[in-house]
């Protein structure tokens, strides 16, 4: 039974997909916009702008499947207590993702070496999602 992390945004899903593609080489396998979905799926009228939002998308970081979408009518603030950790092969990959995410986000734990990782950090991205970045 797979557990699939799902990230919800407030109209910035496509922007987040682009950011995560740069940080993690995220690969999108499917994007469905509200304008292409059956309007019976929601119970409120949508604006023209909302129709351009992402209704459902599926993507991969490495082999890990994620779902991303724009939430309409719900607050989808990120959480500092729950976060996703991405494990990289090299320190340089960690540093790259850290620079991309921290650029408009905030640093929780700066880059450092620890007992269990040659390079690790924790950041809160511009959308409010917390990411752990590390090597094994």
Instruction: Specify the pTM.
Output: 0.91
Cα angle for residues 16, 22, 25 (degrees, 5° grid): 100
Q: How far apart are CA 7 and CA 16, in angstroms?
A: 10
State the average pLDDT over residues 58-66. 97
CATH number where 44 lies: 3.30.720.100
Q: Which are the contacts of 42, defined by CB distance < 8 A and separation ≥ 6? A: 34, 72
Q: What is the CATH number of the domain that holds 123?
A: 3.30.720.110
Task: Provide the domain count of the chain.
Answer: 2
pLDDT tens, residue by residue, 19-45: 999 999 999 999 999 999 999 998 889
Q: Which domain holds residue 63?
A: 6-70
> Same domain, yes or no, for 87 and 65?
no
């Amino acid at each position: 039974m797979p557990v699939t992390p799902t990230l919800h945004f407030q109209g910035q899903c496509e922007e987040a997909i682009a950011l995560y593609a740069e940080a993690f080489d995220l690969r999108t396998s499917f994007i469905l916009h509200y304008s292409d979905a059956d309007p019976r799926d929601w119970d409120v009228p949508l604006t023209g702008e909302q129709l351009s939002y992402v209704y459902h998308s599926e993507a991969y970081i490495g082999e890990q499947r994620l779902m991303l979408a724009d939430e309409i009518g719900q607050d989808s603030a990120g959480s500092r207590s729950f976060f996703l950790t991405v494990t990289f092969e090299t320190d340089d990959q960690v540093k790259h993702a850290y620079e991309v995410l921290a650029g408009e986000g905030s640093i929780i734990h700066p880059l450092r070496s620890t007992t269990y990782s040659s390079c690790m950090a924790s950041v809160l991205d511009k959308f409010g999602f917390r990411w752990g970045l590390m090597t094994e």
